[in-house]
A and B are shown apart, each in its own frame.
Chain A
Amino acid sequence: MFYIHCPYCDEYRDEEEFHPKGQAHIARPEEPESCTDEQWGDYLFFRDNPRGIHHELWVHAIGCRKFFNITRNSASYEILETYRMGEQPRVSAEHPEGKSAEQGAAVNVADEAGRVAGQEGVKA
């Protein structure tokens, strides 16, 4: 049973109040009409599904009803952090111990730039 910190309510609440909504940080293609079948299918269906650290989207369904993100270990089930929409995780498979705020921001900007450049017409 999880005891989840909602970053909007700033309270620890019972798992029953929340719903998991799958992998976080999936950017919807900006122009779906111009996607190839390959790109659209990948966006809709293909997931990381890691055994280990996973960033996922949850909704505080019978609380504030806001969406937020959780970084969680899918094998041990340990919740490593919760953070608001639009924020980037401090803990990741590459940085299991977490990273400092400035470092995090810098890396995220670089990551973001790389990802946007990598997928034409796609924005996070």
Chain B
Amino acid sequence: MQRYSGFGLAKHALSHHENWQRQWRNPTPKKKYDVIVVGGGGHGLATAYYLAKNHGITNVAVLEKGWLGGGNTARNTTIVRSNYLWDEAARLYDHSLDLWKGLSQDLNYNVMFSQRGVMNLGHTLQDMRDIQRRVHANRLNGVDSEVIYPDQIKEIVPVIDTSERARYPILGASWQKSAGVARHDAVAWGYARAADALGVDILQNTEVTGFKIRDGQVYGVHTNRGDIESKTIGCVTAGNSGVVAKMAGLKLPLESHPLQALVSEPLKPVLDTVVMSNHVHGYISQTDKGDLVIGAGIDGYLGYGQRGSYSTVEHTLQAIVEMFPSFSRVRMNRQWGGIVDTCADACPILSKTKVKGLFFNCGWGTGGFKATPGSGHVFAASLAKGEMHPIAAPFSIDRFNTGALIDEHGAAGVAH
């Protein structure tokens, strides 16, 4: 792998940037791999990378039916935080946040991770009680988190309306300073390039059409490019997990919904943090390019259409204008939807299945991007050992039958 550096940039300038090496190969599928990862989004590519890097398993294929990071990895609002309520979730997301901090160096790829802080606003007495409870829980788990009040909020975000005139006055917020945003595409590309350099085969336009299962043990997949064998298969297929599971005769406790986001025209710097509000239901940040990135709730119905409904756009923008009256005349540029696989307890599934050798990493719902490194890291360890990593273990699919749910609806940025 050609390493990127300032010196390299200068050197390539001399040849008009025409001689950069391709970031990853385009190999033909082998007949057999040690591990197959189904799904070439951020989580799948991270899984492949950590398999190769931490566990020395380099005979790995990533099967992607479209192109890398063309699904939810490229369709989210790039927020990274770890202020979750329950111990299990806090451990998982905080593990991820730790990996984010060194990710650009680790991958030799600038993922533009920017710890600009994330604020979750409270607008009612109950909101504030919930915020205080969560902040205390966070601190007990070593997650940096504090309660701040309107004066401090106004200092951090001068354009926000903290007056009492607002229909839903802002009473305070939880504030995680170490949270922030990252560049989503770069995360997929960085992991792909680094995994490829370690020998992982990244197979795009390779769609899994079925599983080969004998005596309850998986031993390969059917794809549109022929059969590929492996006795360990990890499915990391987000919104399509239900469809993939059905191919293996499994049912998952998931519902797939469209979640949309939109960006405005580029503006001069006006907002240098991330603001989320559960109560008025919207979240917003500004990219380095200047676009406001805005998101809100899912469409309530099941859908695979990768587009959202206009009524949701309207509700979202109402919420944003409620908090930021000065944004009322900002024009929106683009709007898109991703398909999020939501679980009843708003926590992911990292689990073995009834089929031996077949693992699922799904159910991240509306907040998977932040977990990309941690998810890949613990899922790779689980695939390598055949046993779930201790951080992943509580997220077994069995919890929906045993009742050991991890209810994180309160810590989701906005209610879904």
Enumerate chain A interface residues (CB-CB to B < 8 A): 1-2, 15-16, 19-20, 22-23, 37-38, 40-42, 44-51, 54, 56, 72, 74-77
Contacts and interface: CB of A to CB of B under 8 A. Distances in A.
Given A51-B240, A75-B305, A42 B256 contact: no
Which 7 A-B residue pairings sit nearest by Cβ, starting from the closest?
A: A49-B242, A41-B401, A45-B253, A20-B301, A45-B400, A20-B300, A51-B304
Given A1-B310, A20-B302, A47-B253, 6 more contacts: A1-B309, A22-B302, A40-B401, A41-B402, A46-B252, A51-B242
Contact of B303 (A23, A42, A47, A77): A77
A63 to B, nearest CB: 16
Contacts of A38: 401
A48 B251 contact: yes
A46 B310 contact: no
20 contacts: A1-B310, A2-B309, A22-B255, A23-B302, A37-B403, A41-B402, A41-B403, A46-B251, A47-B242, A47-B253, A47-B254, A48-B242, A49-B254, A49-B256, A49-B302, A50-B246, A56-B301, A72-B301, A75-B304, A76-B305
Interface in B251-271: 251-256
Nearest to A38: B401
Contacts of A1: 309-311
B303 A74 contact: yes
Nearest to B309: A1
Per DSSP, chain A at the interface is: mixed
Most A CB atoms within 10 A — which of B256, B301, B310, B400?
A: B301
B128 interface: no
Interface string B298-323: 00111111000111000000000000
Contacts of A56: 301-302
B344 interface: yes
B330 interface: no
Nearest to A36: B401
B302 to A, nearest CB: 5
B9 interface: no
